[in-house]
């Protein structure tokens, strides 16, 4: 994932095949800068992904596999979530939500000193690091599942993994509908 061109970090990406479908992983300068589902909403600028290069993403692939199998509860990966100050404050709070637990947009807003929950929701939606910044743990005030960049089916599956519930969905079906290319190139 790392590379230098004239002293500047080179951005590269790979596409991993997972039980949730394809995940595009973006990295620059030794840090992960994006983790996206197919059809991620809002759509990231794909030009910012850099060239596809499957080398150097082995550790993130291993940790994601362990997490999706229910064998990992936290990630030990260098991430650099780029966004506005408010967004990063929201994402920092989300990262504090323990594995297997949830919070609400309103709870996050209160922890930010009374921010508008709609602004918190917008910041959650701009999270460039799905799963790694676990915005799937943010739910509506009534306990209902609300929007998720990877779709509500994936959000439900991630929460079920964390609750130790049996798998009820295989999101790889979405992969074949999208006609996407997969890679399991896990070069360390």
State mean pLDDT over 164-172.
Answer: 52
pLDDT for position 186: 33
CA 16 to CA 23: how far, in whole Å?
Answer: 5
pLDDT for position 9: 85
Q: What CATH number does the domain located at 4-78+170-178 have?
A: 3.30.160.70
- Does the pLDDT at position 64 exceed 70? yes
- Does the pLDDT at position 120 exceed 50? yes
Annotation says 171 is catalytic: no
Active-site residue among 25, 124, 132, 135?
135
CA 157 to CA 149: how far, in whole Å?
Answer: 13
The alpha carbon dihedral of 122, 128, 134, 136 has a sign of positive
Exposed, middle or buried by CB within 10 Å (0-12, 13-18, 19+), for 147?
Answer: middle
| Per-residue pLDDT reduced to its tens digit, 86-111 | 999 999 999 999 999 999 999 999 99
The domain locations on the chain are 4-78+170-178, 85-163
- The interaxial angle of helices 85-95 and 117-125, nearest 10 deg, is 80
Domain 85-163 = CATH 1.10.10.10: yes
183: left (phi over 0), alpha (psi -120 to 50) or beta: beta
Q: Do domains 4-78+170-178 and 85-163 have the same CATH topology?
A: no
- Does the pLDDT at position 1 exceed 70? no
- Does the pLDDT at position 168 exceed 70? no
- Does the pLDDT at position 166 exceed 70? no
- Residue 113 has φ and ψ, to the nearest 5°, of 90, 25
- Residue 75 has φ and ψ, to the nearest 5°, of -105, 145
pLDDT for position 167: 52
Query: Is the peptide bond prior to 31 cis by the omega test (within 30 degrees of 0)?
Result: no
CA 24 to CA 96: how far, in whole Å?
Answer: 24
CA 5 to CA 177: how far, in whole Å?
Answer: 37
């Amino acid at each position: 994932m790392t590379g230098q061109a004239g002293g500047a970090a080179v951005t590269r990406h790979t596409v991993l095949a997972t039980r949730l479908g394809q995940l595009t992983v973006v990295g620059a300068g030794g840090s992960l800068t994006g983790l996206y589902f197919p059809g991620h909403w809002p759509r990231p600028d794909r030009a910012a992904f850099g060239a596809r290069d499957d080398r150097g993403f082995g550790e993130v692939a291993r940790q994601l596999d362990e997490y999706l199998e229910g064998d990992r509860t936290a990630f030990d990966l260098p991430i650099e979530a780029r966004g506005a100050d408010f967004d990063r404050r929201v994402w920092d709070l989300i990262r504090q939500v323990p594995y297997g637990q949830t919070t609400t947009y309103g709870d996050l807003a209160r922890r930010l000193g009374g921010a508008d929950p709609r602004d918190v929701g917008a910041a959650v939606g701009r999270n460039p690091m799905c799963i790694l910044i676990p915005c799937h743990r943010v739910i509506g005030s009534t306990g209902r599942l609300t929007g998720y960049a990877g779709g509500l089916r994936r959000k439900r599956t991630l929460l079920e993994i964390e609750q130790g519930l049996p798998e009820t969905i295989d999101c790889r079906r979405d992969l074949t509908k999208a006609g996407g290319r997969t890679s399991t190139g896990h070069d360390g």
